[in-house]
Structures are given as C-alpha cells and as structure tokens.
Amino acid sequence: MKIQQYNLLFLYQETAALTKRLFIQLKRRPSTFFAGILQPIIWLFLFGALFANAPKDFLPGVDSYGNFLGAGLIVFTAFSGALNSGLPLMFDREFGFLNRLLVAPLASRLSIVLSSFFYITILSFVQSLAIMFISFLLGYGFPNIYGLGVVFATLILLVLFVTSISLCLAFVLPGHIELIALIFVVNLPLLFASTALAPISFMPSWLGWLASFNPLTFAIEPIRIAYSSNFNLDLIALNAPYGDLTCRNCISLLFLLTILSLVIIRPLLNKKLT
C-alpha cells in the first residue's frame, strides 16, 4: 500500500476527513443548525419589541434597542454553538467511535480538535451572517468591510476559546447527560451576566463588575462598535467599573483568554489523546 509521506499532508487529509464527517452529519440532520439561526431571530423580534420604548439615552452609541441587541445575539449564537461542540466528541466517546480515531496512525491527534474548531467556526459564520442579514432587513444596519473583519476575527477567538473548553469537558465529564446539564447551567446565565441584553450602566453594581469580566462582553462590545459608521479599533467599547476599554483592548483580552485556555487544556487533551 502506497502511503503518502508528508506529515503536514497527513494532518490536512485527516482533518479534512474529520471535518467532512461533521458536515455530512449537519447536512443530514440540519435541525440544530436552523434552530441556531431561528432562536436568535426570535429573540431579536421579542426583545426588540419588549424594549422598543426603552429610553434612548440608556443605550450608549446606538439609536434603537434592536441595534444594541444584534451584537449580543451574534455572539450568543457563536457561543452556544461552540459550547455544544463537545457533544459530538462525547457521543463518539460513549459509542466507541473515538476508538476508531485513536487506533488510526493520525499524524497528530490535534486534528480531532482542529476539525471541531473549523466546523464550529464555519457554522458560526454562516449563522451570524444570517442574523446580520435579517437585522439589516429590520433596519438595524450592517458593518462595513473593516467592521465585518472585526466581527469574524472576534468570533474566531470566541469560538476557539469556548470550543477548547467544551472539548475538554467532553473528555472530563462522565457522559453526555452531565455535559448537557452543564451547558444548560452555563449558557443563559453567562448571557445575562454580559452586555448582550443591557449596557453595564443599566446593571446593579455587582452585575456590572461580573459583566465587565465576562469573556462574552469582550466579544460583544467590539462587534457592537463594528456596526458604527465611524468604526475605529481605538474607540471606547466598554465603560467597565475598573476603567474604559477600547475595541482593541477587548479583542486583546479575548485573545489572551483564548491562549490561556489552550495552554491550560493542552496537557489534558495530550493525556486523553495519547
């Protein structure tokens, strides 16, 4: 049997195969994909309507609540998708399919992590674009090309950060029931303890402190800024209790958190995948 010789090529081949498998699953079972788009849109309508008459001055830098909410929902969609990314791996563990991967001479078992990351990133991009497009139709604007770049860069960091944690949990927790329970516990509280639905100035002090350390906030605020016509990386994005953060500061913090999470989970993934 002629086996190809180059490790990088091997890594590409196996990562492509693993990613393709996830997309075939998605194609044949698309309900979660569509639910991932539908849910934020419903939120956009309902929350948009609920707070339509909110005083304009409580929303910094935007002229309607729908405008304010869009960024939060984009981040929430990507966050939920990434948080769920450990589930397919958990099912593979439970049904023994992971053993098929582990007995194969993979160039690097990093391909298992990479494939999940690529899959969730692409999924988040498509879902985010759908939400952005519908927001646009509702008159909530659309970021310019630079703004769009910031949206996607921010989403990549957030997805990498959350996916790595979710994959780690998929190895640590005993089964999918526990993982789903944890996702339930974490998902909405993290959303409410961020600036997705309301600005920090609107929150009680303790919640404001919590929100200003929430990684979701570091992703939401740059995206919110990306929607403004005078978009600039050095614009103040967050009036945190500990000081003002620019768009650049938020993205840098998110970057640091992502690196930190990868460093922390690496030994565990190495142990589980060796």
What are the residues facing 246 on neighbouring strands? Answer: 236
- Which CB, 9 or 52, lies closer to another protein? 9
Binding site for another protein (CB under 8 A): 1-4, 9-10, 13-14, 16-17, 20-21, 24-25, 28-29, 93-107, 171, 174, 272-274
Buried b (16+ CB within 10 A) or exposed e, 180-212: eeebeebeeebbebbbbbbbbeebeeebbbbbb
Task: Answer left, alpha or beta for residue 232, where phi above 0 means left and psi between -120 and 50 means alpha.
Answer: beta
As to burial, measured by CB atoms within 10 angstroms (0-12 exposed, 13-18 middle, 19+ buried), residue 108 is middle
Q: Residue 25 or residue 232: which is nearer to another protein going by CB?
A: 25
Least Å distance between CB 105 and another protein?
A: 4
* Backbone region of residue 194 per phi and psi (left: phi > 0; alpha: psi in -120 to 50; beta: other values): beta
Return the number of the residue (103 or 145) whose C-beta is nearest another protein. 103
Beta strand extents in 234-274 (DSSP E only): 236-240, 243-246
CB of 15 to another protein, least distance (A): 9
Least Å from the CB of residue 21 to another protein: 6
- Least distance CB 48 / another protein (angstroms): 36
Residue 80: CB atoms within 10 A of its CB come to: 23
- In whole angstroms, the minimum distance from the beta carbon of 274 to another protein comes to 8
Tokens at 241, concatenated: 């209790």
CA atoms of 237 and 259, how far apart (whole Å): 22
